[in-house]
Amino acid sequence: MRTNYKLFIIALLGLGLHVQAQEVGLKDVLGRYFLVGTSLNQWQSSLRDFQAAPVVEHHFNAVVAENVMKVDALQPASGDFDFHHADEIADFCKQRQLTLIGHCLVWHSQVPAWFFVDKQGQTVGREELIARIKNHIATVVGRYRGRVRGWDVVNEAFLDDGRMRPSPLYNIIGEDFIEIAFRAAHEADPDAELYYNDYSMALPQKRAAVCRMVRRLKEKGVRIDAVGMQSHVGLDYPSLADYEASIDSFAACGVKVMITELDINVLPNPMEFGGAGVEQDFAYQQRWNPYADGLPQEKAMELEQRWLDLFDIYRRHAAQISRVNLWGIADHNSWLNNWPIHGRTNYPLLFDRQYKEKPVVRKIISLFECF
């Protein structure tokens, strides 16, 4: 009887410990090594989607605006800035003591049409475009000085083969636009960290091109603190070896590495698909949307293993990494339900469509607990 009683107490204690362990959030454990972030859409940061905030508070210590700090949101018309939604996310972070990361100052995409044309509708001249970039950066970075820890200054300037992307930025200004943007951001907030951010960063040619750029900026005395590997990955791409090699290469250039937009695409895709270029758009066919009613057990296991493989890399490279950031909280938030094919059901994030954590969250935490 006495033994049974003891066993009962031990079981109760065990249960207590278990419940306590369940309460630890990602940031409580992984946060010992790097920032743990998520992107937020405007419904979440304005609390219209009220389910997101408690998850953010429990699991994350850093936040990025998914869209509201991009050029089209902030300066829809020339000189006409709209900070309403960006201020909302800045307040969201301030109230919860979350680190806010700015995304993004210079990008070829999500730029309003006026930005690259003059009053006659012709391609804008080099000096005028430089002036527009400088003005945008000075205004935006200046406004959030002291509130944004660091900025994705330039986003996606390279093609996957390592050549410069032939965007209006490059075509009109030349590769100098990168240096100009970094210098302008530093001038507007000398304390802000400055990052270069891109996708497909495990590709050797792209990795080499970004390393060359980082070294050149550093030689010229231009501030650059980190390289962001977006990490929109699939179940079987990129290879873990290539991915790890990129972390090592960027770190060897003397910058920190940030995993900035992590998600895992579990859906089959057309052969021609690749990278994360938003211009890709394929017609919907049933065969590209096989898991509309749920992920089969086998796929779920494969997905879980992929998460653990990635987080094991982050664990082993923790000294080189300063932030791991998910691109969204829950599966229904993800852009991957609509890209590169509209209207699919994808499972790319760590929380399900009810904002419930997936079992892999505890496994990731355990991985770092025994570190």
Residues with catalytic function: 156, 261
Q: How far is the CB of 344 from ligand 9MR (least distance, A)?
A: 15
What amino acid is encoded at 341 in this protein?
I
Using the minimum distance from each CB to ligand 9MR, give the nearer residue, 25 or 328: 328
CB contact at 8 A, 256 and 324: no
54 Cα distance to chain centroid? 20
Q: How far is the CB of 339 from ligand 9MR (least distance, A)?
A: 6
Letters for 227-256 (x = contact with ligand 9MR by CB under 6 A, - = none) are ---x--------------------------
Site size for ligand 9MR, by CB under 6 A?
10
Q: How far is Cα 127 from Cα 132, in angstroms, rounded to an integer?
A: 9
Task: Pick from 261, 262, 303, 307 the residue near ligand 9MR by CB under 6 A.
Answer: 261
E strands present in the chain: 35-40, 62-65, 99-106, 148-155, 193-198, 226-229, 232-234, 256-265, 321-326
Secondary structure of 138-196 as H, E, C letters: HHHHHHCCCCEEEEEEEECCECCCCCECCCHHHHHHCCHHHHHHHHHHHHHCCCCEEEE
Q: How far is Cα 302 from Cα 58, in angstroms, rounded to an integer?
A: 26
Using the minimum distance from each CB to ligand 9MR, give the nearer residue, 261 or 365: 261
Q: How far is Cα 199 from Cα 202, in angstroms, rounded to an integer?
A: 8
Task: Pick from 196, 335, 347, 351 the residue near ligand 9MR by CB under 6 A.
Answer: 335
What amino acid is encoded at 93 in this protein?
C
Q: How far is the CB of 41 from ligand 9MR (least distance, A)?
A: 7
CB contact at 8 A, 152 and 228: yes
Closest CA to 349 of 366, 314, 322, 325: 325
Letters for 304-333 (x = contact with ligand 9MR by CB under 6 A, - = none) are ------------------------------
Interaction between residue 158 and ligand 9MR (CB under 6 A): no
Using the minimum distance from each CB to ligand 9MR, give the nearer residue, 72 or 312: 72
Using the minimum distance from each CB to ligand 9MR, give the nearer residue, 278 or 301: 278
Interaction between residue 67 and ligand 9MR (CB under 6 A): yes
Q: How far is the CB of 73 from ligand 9MR (least distance, A)?
A: 11
Sign of the alpha-carbon dihedral angle for 90, 39, 104, 182: positive
Q: How far is the CB of 155 from ligand 9MR (least distance, A)?
A: 6
Q: How far is the CB of 297 from ligand 9MR (least distance, A)?
A: 29
Using the minimum distance from each CB to ligand 9MR, give the nearer residue, 66 or 193: 66
Q: How far is Cα 117 from Cα 114, in angstroms, rounded to an integer?
A: 5
Letters for 266-285 (x = contact with ligand 9MR by CB under 6 A, - = none) are ----------x-x-------
Residue 207, helix vs strand vs coil: helix
Q: How far is the CB of 109 from ligand 9MR (least distance, A)?
A: 5
Task: Pick from 35, 38, 66, 307 the residue near ligand 9MR by CB under 6 A.
Answer: 66
Tell me what percent of the chain is helix, strand and coil, each rounded to the nearest 5. Answer: 45, 20, 40
Q: What angle do CA 116, 122, 123 make, to 5 degrees?
A: 40
Interaction between residue 205 and ligand 9MR (CB under 6 A): no
Tell me which residues touch ligand 9MR (CB under 6 A): 66-67, 109-110, 155, 230, 261, 276, 278, 335
